[in-house]
C-alpha cells in the first residue's frame, strides 16, 4: 500500500516538474496547462509517465496512424491493434472456430475453408492452429495492404486473410512438411509466400522413418507458395519446394533491394539431435547445443524458380514439385554461412545490404553483408561443405560486423535511419545498434551499441513501424513480452502476455504504455501504416459471397424469399433486415436436410445480423450485403427459437423466429 504521505510528496515534486513542462507545452491552444499538471500530480504520474501517456493517447473518435497485425499463438487467430493507442480493434479467426464471426460454426464458407485446410496429411480434421508469423503482402518491398498470410506452427499450414473484408479465404495444408515456424515471408512483390518446415519430416510414403535413420530419411523443406495477385490465393501447381538437410529450420526473411532474389533461413540443431533421454541419449536441448556454429541457409530463390520450371529438375511429391537437395546444390541454389550458437532471428535491413542474426546463446548480433556473400559465392570462398555437400561460406568472408548487445538476442527490426533494434530475451531489454556505411552510418560509428531500454519481461519478438520493409519509418517499437509477472492485477494463474509500446523518436528509447494480451500468445507482429489499407471495405455489394466477392447464386432480394422442398431437402431463401428474418417460421420434418441461404439485405455499415439455432451448434454472422448458407440435418425434433445474435436495433430482441422440426 502506498502511504498518503508518499503520494503527497510525489505529487508535490510532480506538480513542479510536470507543471513546468506541461505549462510550457500546452499553454498555447489548450489554455489548461496548469490543469494538466494538476491531473498528472493527482494521479501520481511522473513526468515520463505523463509524457508517455500523451504520446500514446489517441483521442476518442480519432484513428490510429498504424495498425499492428499480431499472431495469436495457439489461439489460432490474428489480432489487429491500433498503434500508438494500443487498443484492440478486432480478432480474426484463422485456424480455430470462433463464434462472434460465425467462423466454423455452421456457415458454409468457413466450414469449407477449415475442411480444405485438413488434408490426408493430418490424422484428424483440425480445429485449431498455432499462429506465429504474419506476413503482409508487399509491392516493391513495402506493404501494399492487400493480404496477410499466417502460418500454423503446429500443423504446417498457411492461412490467407484478404484485407478487403479482413476474413480468412484459404487455408493451405502444405505437403511434405509437418510443422512450420518462423520461415514465413512474402517476396518483395509477393510472387511467392515462403514457408519452411521447422522440424524435419521423413520424406517417405507413409511419413514414418525410424529416428536411427534421421540423417538419411528426414528432410527440411523450403516451400515457395505461388500467389495469385488478384485473389491472394495460393496455387500449389505453380509452387515448388526445395529439400534441405534435416536441421531445424527456424526464422527466415526475404532479401530486398540490394539482396533481392535471395532468401535467408536460420537453422539450429545441425547436430541432428533427436533426444532419447530415457533411452540413454541426451535431452534434445543439450544435443542441439553442442556446436559453436549452425548454418544460415542462403537461397537464390529467383534461380530456384527457373530451375523448378525446367523439365527433369524436379520430382512431384504429394502434388507439388520438389527440387531435391542434390539438385539444389548442383544448380547453385543453396549455400550456408556459419552463424554463432543456436541462432534464432534473421532479419534483412531496409536497404537490403545487411542481414542481422541473433544467436540465443551468444551475446552478439552478427551482421552479414550481401555483397560479401555474393563475392564469396562467386569466388567459391568455401570452408568445405556440410555432410550433405552444401558449400559453407567462410565466416570471416561474409560478416560485416558484430555487436555485443546483451544476453539472449532473438529478433531484429529497423528504423530506416541505419539502426537495428534487437530483442534480448534473457536481459529483458531492447538494444539499439548501428549498422554500417551501406545503411548510411559513418564508418567510425558503425556496428556499435547505441541505446538499451528495459522491458517487462522476457521479450520475444519486437516490431518497429513498417520495420521489416524498405519503408521502415522509425516511429514506434512494440516489444512482445512473454511474461507479465507483476505488471497487472492477479487475475488467475494463466497470465497475459505484455505488449509494450516504445517511442523511437527521441534520443533514447522510452516505454510509453503496457497492453496486456489476454487472448493468446502472440509471436511475431507487423505494423502497417493504416493509410496503406486502401482496399478495406465496410459493407459488401448486395448479395455477395464472401469467398469470391462475386454475387452469390443463392442471393435473395427482398420479396424473393421462399421455401422449396426437393424430397428430403428443404431449401430456405431467407433475408435479414432490422428487425426480422423473412421467413420467420421454417417448417421441417425430422430427417430433413435443411439448407438455409441467408442474405443480409442491409446496406448500412455496421448493420450486421447473426443467425443462431439453439441446440444445433449453429451461429452464423451476416455483415451488410453478405450471403451465407447454413446446412444441417434435422436430427432432433422440437420447436427451436432461432434468433439474431448481434444487437442490431431497438427491436433486436424481437428479431427471432421458429424452426419447427416435426416428428
Ligand atoms: Cu521467436 Cu515463433 Cu518468431 Cu516466438 S518465435 S519469440
Ligand atoms: Cu439483427 Cu439483432
- 361-379 pLDDT, tens digit per residue, is 889 999 999 999 999 999 9
| For the CA of 525, the nearest ligand | 1
Ligand 1 pocket, mutate which of 184, 410, 483, 525 (most atoms under 8 A from CB): 410
pLDDT of residue 8: 40
Q: What is the mean pLDDT of residues 478-498?
A: 97
CA of 646 to the centre of ligand 2 (A): 5
387 pLDDT higher than 60: yes
Label residue 7 by pLDDT band (50, 70, 90). very low
1 pLDDT higher than 50: no
2 pLDDT higher than 60: no
| For the CA of 577, the nearest ligand | 2
Q: What is the mean pLDDT of residues 644-657?
A: 97
Label residue 29 by pLDDT band (50, 70, 90). very low
Nearest CA to ligand 2 atom 1: 609
Label residue 525 by pLDDT band (50, 70, 90). very high
Mean pLDDT of the chain: 94
What ligand 1 atom has the least distance to the C-alpha of 251? 3
Rounded Cα–Cα distance for residues 178 and 115 (Å) = 17
pLDDT of residue 292: 86
- Other beta carbons within 10 angstroms of residue 203's beta carbon come to 21
Label residue 33 by pLDDT band (50, 70, 90). low
Instruction: Indicate if ligand 2 lies below 6 Å from the C-beta of 652.
Output: yes
Closest CA to 602 of 642, 571, 561, 558: 558
CA of 180 to the centre of ligand 1 (A): 11
523 pLDDT higher than 90: yes
Question: Which helix (H) or strand (E) covers residue 587, if one does?
Answer: strand 585-589
Residue 553 makes CB contacts below 8 A (sequence gap 6+) with none
445 pLDDT higher than 70: yes
Q: What is the mean pLDDT of residues 109-129?
A: 96
Closest CA to 633 of 575, 663, 589: 589
Characterize 618-648 residue by residue with b for buried, 16 or more Cβ atoms within 10 angstroms of its Cβ, and e for exposed. Answer: bbbbbbbbbbbbbbbebeeeeebebbbbbeb
CA of 427 to the centre of ligand 2 (A): 51
Label residue 289 by pLDDT band (50, 70, 90). confident
Condensed to tens digits (0 to 9), the pLDDT of residues 61-100 reads 999 999 999 999 999 999 999 999 999 999 999 999 999 9
* DSSP-assigned letters across all residues of 521-564: ----EEEEEGGG-TT--SSPPTTB-TTTSSBPTT---TT--EEE
- Determine if residue 147 is left, alpha or beta; phi over 0 gives left, psi from -120 to 50 gives alpha, anything else beta: beta
20 pLDDT higher than 50: no
Condensed to tens digits (0 to 9), the pLDDT of residues 576-621 reads 999 999 999 999 999 999 999 999 999 999 999 999 999 999 999 9
| Length of the chain, in residues | 663
Longest dimension (CA), the chain: 86
**Whole-prediction pTM:** 0.94
Amino acid at each position: 500500500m502506498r502511504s498518503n504521505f508518499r503520494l503527497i510528496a510525489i505529487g508535490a515534486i510532480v506538480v513542479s516538474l510536470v507543471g513546468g513542462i506541461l505549462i510550457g507545452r500546452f499553454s498555447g491552444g489548450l489554455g489548461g496547462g496548469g490543469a494538466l499538471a494538476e491531473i498528472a500530480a493527482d494521479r501520481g504520474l511522473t513526468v515520463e509517465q505523463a509524457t508517455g501517456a500523451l504520446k500514446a493517447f489517441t483521442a476518442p473518435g480519432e484513428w490510429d496512424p498504424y495498425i499492428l497485425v499480431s499472431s495469436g499463438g495457439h489461439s489460432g487467430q490474428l489480432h489487429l491493434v491500433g498503434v500508438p493507442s494500443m487498443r484492440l480493434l478486432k480478432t480474426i479467426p484463422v485456424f480455430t472456430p470462433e463464434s462472434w464471426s460465425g467462423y466454423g460454426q455452421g456457415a458454409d464458407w468457413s466450414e469449407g475453408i477449415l475442411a480444405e485446410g485438413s488434408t490426408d496429411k493430418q490424422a484428424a480434421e483440425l480445429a485449431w492452429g498455432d499462429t506465429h508469423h504474419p506476413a503482409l503482402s508487399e509491392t516493391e518491398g513495402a506493404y501494399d495492404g492487400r493480404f496477410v498470410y499466417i502460418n500454423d506452427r503446429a500443423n504446417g499450414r498457411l492461412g490467407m486473410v484478404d484485407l478487403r473484408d479482413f476474413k480468412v479465404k484459404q487455408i493451405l495444408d502444405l505437403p511434405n512438411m509437418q510443422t512450420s515456424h518462423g520461415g514465413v515471408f512474402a517476396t518483395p512483390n509477393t510472387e511467392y509466400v515462403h514457408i519452411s518446415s521447422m522440424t524435419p519430416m521423413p520424406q517417405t510414403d507413409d511419413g514414418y522413418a525410424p529416428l536411427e535413420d534421421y540423417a538419411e530419411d528426414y528432410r527440411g523443406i523450403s516451400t515457395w507458395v505461388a500467389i495469385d495477385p488478384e485473389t491472394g490465393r495460393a496455387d500449389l501447381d505453380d509452387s515448388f519446394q526445395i529439400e534441405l538437410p534435416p536441421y531445424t529450420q527456424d526464422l527466415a526473411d526475404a532479401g530486398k533491394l540490394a539482396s533481392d532474389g535471395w532468401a535467408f533461413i536460420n537453422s539450429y540443431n545441425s547436430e541432428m539431435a533427436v533426444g532419447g533421454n530415457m533411452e540413454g541419449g541426451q535431452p534434445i536441448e543439450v544435443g542441439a547445443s553442442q556446436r559453436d556454429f549452425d548454418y544460415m541457409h542462403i537461397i537464390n530463390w529467383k534461380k530456384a524458380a527457373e530451375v523448378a520450371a525446367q523439365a527433369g529438375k524436379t520430382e512431384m511429391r504429394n502434388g507439388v514439385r520438389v527440387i531435391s537437395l542434390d539438385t539444389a546444390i548442383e544448380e547453385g541454389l543453396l549455400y550456408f554461412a556459419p552463424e554463432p550458437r543456436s541462432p534464432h532471428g534473421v532479419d534483412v535491413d531496409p536497404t537490403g545490404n545487411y542481414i542481422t542474426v541473433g544467436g540465443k546463446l551468444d551475446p552478439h548480433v552478427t551482421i552479414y553483408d550481401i555483397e560479401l556473400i555474393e563475392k564469396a559465392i562467386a569466388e567459391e570462398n568455401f570452408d568445405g561443405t556440410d555432410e550433405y555437400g552444401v558449400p559453407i561460406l567462410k565466416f570471416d568472408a561474409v560478416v560485416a560486423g558484430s555487436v555485443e548487445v546483451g544476453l539472449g538476442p532473438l529478433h531484429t527490426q529497423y528504423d530506416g535511419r541505419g539502426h537495428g533494434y534487437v530483442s534480448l530475451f534473457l536481459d529483458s531489454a531492447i538494444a539499439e545498434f548501428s549498422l554500417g556505411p551501406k545503411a548510411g552510418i559513418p564508418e567510425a560509428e558503425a556496428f556499435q551499441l547505441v541505446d538499451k531500454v528495459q522491458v517487462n519481461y522476457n521479450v520475444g519478438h519486437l516490431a518497429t513501424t513498417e520495420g521489416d520493409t524498405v519503408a521502415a519509418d522509425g516511429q514506434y517499437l512494440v516489444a512482445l513480452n512473454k511474461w507479465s509477472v507483476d505488471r497487472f492485477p492477479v487475475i488467475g494463474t494463466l497470465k497475459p502476455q505484455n505488449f509494450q509500446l516504445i517511442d523511437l523518436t527521441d534520443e533514447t528509447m522510452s516505454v510509453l504504455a503496457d497492453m496486456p494480451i489476454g487472448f493468446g500468445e502472440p509471436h511475431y507482429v507487423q505494423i502497417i501504416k493504416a493509410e496503406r489499407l486502401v482496399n478495406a471495405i465496410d459493407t459488401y455489394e448486395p448479395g455477395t459471397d464472401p469467398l469470391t466477392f462475386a454475387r452469390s447464386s443463392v442471393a435473395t432480394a427482398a420479396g424473393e424469399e421462399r421455401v422449396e422442398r426437393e424430397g428430403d431437402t428443404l431449401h430456405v431463401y431467407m433475408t435479414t433486415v432490422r428487425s426480422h428474418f423473412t421467413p420467420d417460421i421454417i417448417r421441417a420434418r425430422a430427417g430433413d436436410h435443411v439448407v438455409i441461404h441467408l442474405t443480409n439485405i442491409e446496406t448500412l455499415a455496421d448493420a450486421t445480423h447473426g443467425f443462431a439455432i439453439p441446440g444445433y451448434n449453429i451461429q452464423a454472422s451476416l455483415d451488410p450485403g453478405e450471403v451465407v448458407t447454413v446446412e444441417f440435418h434435422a436430427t432432433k425434433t422440437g420447436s427451436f427459437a432461432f434468433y439474431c445474435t448481434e444487437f442490431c436495433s431497438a427491436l433486436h430482441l424481437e428479431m427471432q423466429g421458429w424452426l419447427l422440426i416435426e416428428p
